[in-house]
Amino acid sequence: MGRMCEGRVVAVTGAGRGLGRAHALAFAAEGARVVVNDLGVGLDGAPAADSPARQVVDEIRAAGGDAVAHGADVATGAGAASLVALALETYGRLDTLVNNAGFLRDRMLVNLDEDDWDAVVRVHLKGHFLPLRHAAAHWRAEAKAGRTPVARIVNTSSGAGLLGSLGQGNYSAAKAGIVGLTLVAAAELARYGVQVNAIAPAARTRMTERTFAETMTAPGAGFDAMATENVSPLVVWLGSAASEGVTGRVFEAEGGRITVMEGWRAGPTVDKGARWTPGGAGEAVVKLLGEAGEPGPVYGA
């Protein structure tokens, strides 16, 4: 049986460490040629001395795969454009984009300054939008030229973006924005042969090592439930041609568990057919809330 991504070219952002590294290695193991992007910054976005992207490329090549390193900042227009350009110049095509780059600057809201807000929203949300935009422009041109691609985008949200997380107002807002971006992109790009989905992973990385400090083993399974490698099989499938017809979805992935996340949809409702008074609106809301399900708790609450 052939490998799932044989012949495909996949670009993974933030692929020098953690989840991105696991995704890059998993795609390569399934036959993909991989563009490994990583700016090489620390957990808080400050410059680091090493080149993690090059290290991952070396790992892939040592295992018999094919990869190339990309070290530009994908939260800039030039950096995102160069990511797509490198794939095309090196391999002549781009089939899948996995947006994964990010870092944290956690603060409670009253202590969260503007720079920490801007930095986190920039790397997560803008760092998703710009590579998506440049890849989509390429695929649209291909479709208009009669070469409709079998293209895939996998975005990285978080449980923090779905439920919120104490001390992570900037991160939660950015990750929620990624879900909205995913839904719009799935609807707009379908005509060009592009499917767009998002994952909300839970795994032990540099960003979550304090949360998942201890190794968690699924009962009876004998594996590390918080290993980054557990998330990558879903990402590889979503990034492959095998996922035909799956788009505009958000999946939570943790250990051996995959969950389809169901977003906002209409719950209990009432229509008076006329303007409410403030008191009447309040009475109606209290009644509706009594009929509605309880929301999930904010992480850390």
Which member of 175, 192, 232, 240 is catalytic?
175
Using CA atoms, how far residue 172 sits from 79, 162, 211, in Å, is 25, 8, 16
171 has catalytic annotation: yes
Long-range Cβ contacts of 146-150 (<8 Å, 24+ apart): 148/192, 148/193, 149/95, 149/192, 149/193, 149/194, 150/95, 150/193, 150/241, 150/244
Among the options 91, 126, 157, 171, which is catalytic?
Answer: 171
Active-site choice (82, 126, 157, 158): 158
158 in catalytic set: yes
Q: For strands 250-254 and 257-261, give the pairing.
A: antiparallel
Question: Which residues face 217 on adjacent strands?
Answer: 224
The answer to whether 139 and 192 have CB atoms below 8 angstroms apart is yes
256 alpha-carbon distance from chain centroid: 18
C-alpha span between 189 and 192 (Å, rounded): 5
The residue with tokens 């193991």 is 29
Task: Give catalytic residue positions.
Answer: 158, 171, 175
